[in-house]
């Protein structure tokens, strides 16, 4: 089975966690070399602009997940 079976989640918190997973997987798939990612991590981990951009990517993914879940509308 795929690592991403669905965008559906039970709660907004689960949706946010999925948004983080989507963001992390995008980095992993874009740069599949573990050693290169580990080397680069120090550069962006200490850079406020890089961290802000990472937060923006998570926020965009969270919007996608929220839309897929009809913004967790009551049934």
Query: pLDDT digit string (tens) for 13-66?
Result: 999 999 999 999 999 999 999 999 999 999 999 999 999 999 999 999 999 999
Residue 5 phi/psi, 5° resolution? -80, -30
Extract the tokens encoding 12: 């907004």
Contact predicate 54/44, CB 8 Å: yes
Extract the tokens encoding 66: 């929220």
The residues spanned by each domain of the chain are 12-68
Closest CA to 56 of 9, 23, 18, 21: 23
pLDDT-based confidence at residue 71 (cuts at 50, 70, 90): confident
Extract the tokens encoding 74: 């009551």
């Amino acid at each position: 089975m795929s690592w991403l079976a669905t965008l559906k989640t039970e709660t907004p918190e689960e949706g946010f966690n999925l948004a983080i997973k989507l963001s992390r997987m995008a980095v992993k798939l874009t740069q599949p070399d573990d050693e290169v990612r580990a080397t680069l991590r120090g550069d962006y981990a200490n850079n406020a602009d890089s961290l802000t951009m990472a937060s923006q990517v998570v926020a965009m993914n969270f919007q996608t997940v929220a839309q897929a879940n009809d913004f967790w509308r009551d049934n």
